[in-house]
Amino acid sequence: MIPVEFRGFAWRHAGRRAQAVAGVDLRVEPGERVLLLGPSGSGKSTLLAALAGLLTEDSGEQDGDVLIDGKPAAEQRDRVGILFQDPETQLVMARSGDDVAFGLENQAAPRDRIWPRVHEALEAVGFPYGLDRPTHALSGGEQQRLALAGVLARRPDLILLDEPTANLDPEGAQDVREALRAALADTRATLIVVEHRVAEILDLVDRVIALGPGGTLLADGPAAAVLAEHGDHLAAQGVWVPGVPLPTRPPASPGDIALRGDALALVRPGADRPALDDVSFELRQGELLAVTGPNGSGKSTLALLAGGLARPTRGAATVPGEPRPLHKLPARRLATRVGSVFQDPEHQFVTASVRDELAFGPRQAGWPKDRIEARVAELLERLRLAPLANANPHTLSGGEARRLSVAGALAAAPGVLLLDEPTFGQDRRTWGELVDLTADIRDEGTALLAVTHDRDFAAALAGRELVLDHGRIAQERRR
Amino acid sequence: MTMTLAPVCDAQAPIARVNPVAKLAAVTAVSTTALIASDWLTPLVLLAALLAVVPFSGISIGALARRLRWLWFAAATVVVVNAVFAAEQTGRILIALGPLEIGTGALLDGTAIGLRVLVAATAGVLGFATTDPTDLADALTQQLRTPARFTLGALAALRLLPLLGAEWQQITNARRARGLEGGWNLVRRARLFASTMFALLVGAIRRAGRLAAAMDARGFDSAIPRTHAREQRMRLADWIVLAAALLVCGAAIGISAAYGVFTAFN
């Protein structure tokens, strides 16, 4: 249990003009459990990195002080533990037990004290396997629980959680929250959590601090009071405030068939069962078909096959007016028939400016120059990307990059758009923008298929839902 | 594209349980002997000894043959090239096809070079295929005192390597969806390869940065000397393995010398 204090703290990342946070004054009392809220760009992650002692002199410019138990954070590294978003890049070792031991070795714990504490930490997070379990064979939720055990084993007096469930599917996120709940009941450490999804984490905290742009203080106090008073404002800023209703955009009746999947199957080499097995479906103009199901059920495989990006072992995906199945089309023709938007927008960026990114598909398809220019201007305007027309796609914020990846896939006017987890990890404001954008595209007559874990997204937009399990259609629901 | 870095052997096999530093020393001894000796008999004896060790390595003959298949091919190429392009063809002429002439002397010299390459590579594969990377890193830091920052950093990076294969596939898919693919045009293919590689590198560097931050947050950069959760040291069995390797090297040279064919540094 230790107090934490920011005194006139400001930080500018090396190479940036603006400060990430400026003039932050905050005090967290020993043993307090704090939820730190704020829109993207409010510097939440910067504050956590400062507390974890990860803002080194060569990475930027600091003003003011960050004090943990009265001493600069950089000197208190050993008393602080931090859990990050991405489970994949937090694990160091190949075997689970070794990974938890890693942090204890760094603390110079003697060998005979290491292993009892490893066992204790793994038990605290409900880790279901033995010490030798390979870390690469764990699911995202299991990896994140293991990383949490690695934090707890060092017995920190201050625990920092930086969106600990943002990269996980709903089941994994639930498991991690339960592990957190159990582990926090056993410790008296001071806790600071950054999380967009407020409802799920509210019972773990007793104080909410809401930040505005640049780290300005918006609200501070008991959770219930802050949310009651500032809930609407926070929701508008991008926080998932419980009880604030979400928009829905119900579909009109669908038109003609735009894409047909016929007994699609894919068997990966060396796999013991097909990733997808005998899946047939139709996609119509002006509708959104949600494809749901647990991890490993074949959702993403279905999107790849429907998008003509992988060769099916059996069956074919076709669009009307195109005699060849999609996977046999040359890429530049495919892009005029079916657009695909992937989870990581950056994988799709192939040029150095937003404008070129939008012109790329039409150019590949051989459109005349004036038609390309008109199309680019229209998309820039509609997706509110005009002020960024000359920016490099890799410098965009998460929400902007997502909009650009959708616009890029739409540029060559395909009749079908496939989306893989479009709302994954987005804040509430970006989420709302994506729902509106997707609904507009759908209502113009484009056929949409969205692979998603996000129940709210499916509820807001989908006319039908395809539930997959073990590579097969388990259920087809009409909404 | 999938990659695995785990050892391919049974972890409980006698050779797999030998201390990694002892194995490293044994492999170095055998390879060095094979590369220093320039006759054909020394590497042949060493190769026989290596093959005798295989049953104790926990690697199935099939798996070993698969790992070594390119190597056999490479060694055979070395033999042919050295026999055909020898400076002078000595001994009895075996083949005479116009300008192409191969004598027994040149064939023997070529075979010797091929065998030396084969011994060094087989010893290396046997050593590494039976060694868990974690055990190797432990042994290096504890016994040879290599810096932890470098050794464990490399080990952690190794853990991320298989992710690159999956990401390469994702980027390739994303590019095809955008209308970009190599097809039969070689120039376009090369440019696409370069740009995919660039995207992969950008992602890898970002991931490496996050991993480094996570490691430091768990005290990896603290000034206190770290302890070791898993002990690695030379046990009696490890000394015996090392001694046996040295003995085999000596015996190979001895046998070759006794036959009067031993030469070195050639």
Tell me, yes or no, whether A123 lies in a domain: yes
Place of tokens 């070529």: B110
Q: Same domain for B109 and B172?
A: no
pLDDT beyond 70 at B227: yes
Amino acid residing at A128: P
> Is B244 a domain residue?
yes
* Residues B35 and B161 placed together within one structural domain of the fold: no
B118 belongs to a structural domain: yes
Quick: pLDDT tens for B190-223: 988 998 998 899 889 888 999 999 999 999 988 8
pLDDT of residue B2: 40
Alpha-carbon gap, residue B216 to A78, rounded angstroms: 10
Q: Which residues of A touch B225 (CB under 8 A)?
A: 108
Q: One digit per residue, pLDDT tens: chain A, 479 residues?
A: 789 999 999 999 887 788 888 889 999 999 999 999 887 778 888 999 999 998 888 889 999 999 999 999 988 988 999 999 889 899 999 999 999 999 999 999 999 999 999 999 999 999 999 999 999 889 999 999 999 999 999 999 999 999 998 888 888 899 999 999 988 888 889 999 998 888 888 889 999 999 887 788 888 999 888 988 888 888 888 888 888 888 889 988 889 999 999 999 999 887 888 999 999 999 999 999 999 998 889 999 999 999 999 999 999 999 999 999 999 999 989 999 999 999 888 889 999 999 999 999 999 888 999 999 999 999 998 888 899 999 999 888 878 888 899 999 989 889 999 999 988 878 888 888 889 989 999 999 999 999 999 989 999 999 999 999 999 999 999 87
Q: State phi, psi for A72 to the nearest 5 degrees.
A: -55, 140
Instruction: Based on the fold, state whether residues A261 and A232 are members of the same structural domain.
Output: no
Distance from CA of B244 to the nearest CA of A (A): 32
Residue B37 belongs to some domain of the structure? yes
Residue A355 CA, chain-centre distance (Å), reads 26
A229 falls within a domain: yes
Same domain assignment for residues B167 and B56: no
- The total number of structural domains that make up chain B: 2
Exposed / middle / buried, residue B171 (Cβ in 10 Å: 0-12, 13-18, 19+) = buried
CB contact under 8 A, B179 and A408: no
**DSSP code per residue over A244-300:** SPPP--------SEEEEEEEEEE--TT-SS-SEEEEEEEEETT-EEEEE-STTSSHH
Q: Report phi then psi at A447, rounded to 5.
A: -90, 130
- Tell me whether residues B199 and A307 touch, CB distance under 8 A: no
Q: Which residue matches tokens 């045009």?
A: B185
Nearest chain B residue to A360 by CA distance is B178
For B248, the domain range is: 20-136+234-258
Co-location of A218 and A290 in the same domain: no
Residues A271 and A375 in one domain: yes
Tell whether A244 is covered by a domain.
no
For chain A, what is the largest distance between any 2 Cα atoms, rounded to a whole number of angstroms? 74
Q: Compute the distance between CA of residue B60 and CA of residue B77 in angstroms, rounded to an integer.
A: 26
- The strand pair at A257-266 and A314-318 is best described as antiparallel
Contacts of B226 in chain A (CB under 8 A): 105-106, 108
Q: Give the domain range for residue A395.
A: 257-478
Distance from CA of A47 to the nearest CA of B (A): 14
> Are A301 and A223 part of one and the same domain?
no
pTM above 0.90, yes or no: no
Per the DSSP assignment, residues forming a β-bridge with B264 are: B37
Residue B87 and residue B50 share a domain: yes
pLDDT for the residue numbered A63: 92
A330 in reach of chain B (CB within 8 A) = yes
Same domain assignment for residues A193 and A315: no
Residues B91 and B198 in one domain: no
Whole-number Å distance between alpha carbons of B185 and B197:
18
User: Would you say residue B181 lies in a domain?
Assistant: yes
Query: What CATH number corresponds to the domain at position A414?
Result: 3.40.50.300
Shared-domain flag, residues B24 and B105: yes
Could you tell me if B28 and B122 lie in one domain? yes
User: Does the structure show a pLDDT above 90 at B65?
Assistant: no
Contact A362, A374 (CB under 8 A): no
Q: Which of B175, B176, B180, B228 to mutate to test the interface with A (most CBs of A within 10 A)?
A: B176
Same domain, B40 and B104: yes
Q: Are residues A52 and A190 in the same domain?
A: yes
Number of domains in chain A: 2
Residues B242, B195 within the same domain: no
Band of pLDDT at residue B1, cut at 50, 70 and 90: very low
Question: A106 and B219: CB-CB below 8 Å?
Answer: yes
The H or E element containing residue A365 is: none
pLDDT at A368: 94
- Answer yes or no: is A247 within a domain: no
Same domain, B127 and B243: yes
Q: Do residue B218 and residue A102 have CB atoms under 8 angstroms apart?
A: yes
Nearest chain B residue (CA) to A417: B177
DSSP tag of B231? -
> Is the domain of B128 the same as that of B195?
no
Is the domain of A175 the same as that of A270?
Answer: no
Considering the domain architecture, whether residues B207 and B241 belong to the same structural domain is answered as: no
Interface test with B, best of A89, A136, A350, A351 (most B CBs within 10 A): A89
Distance in angstroms (rounded) separating the CA atoms of residues B153 and A102: 12
Contacts of A80 in chain B (CB under 8 A): 217
Chain B hits for A105, Cβ within 8 Å = 226-229
Helix (H, G, I), strand (E, B) or coil at B163: helix
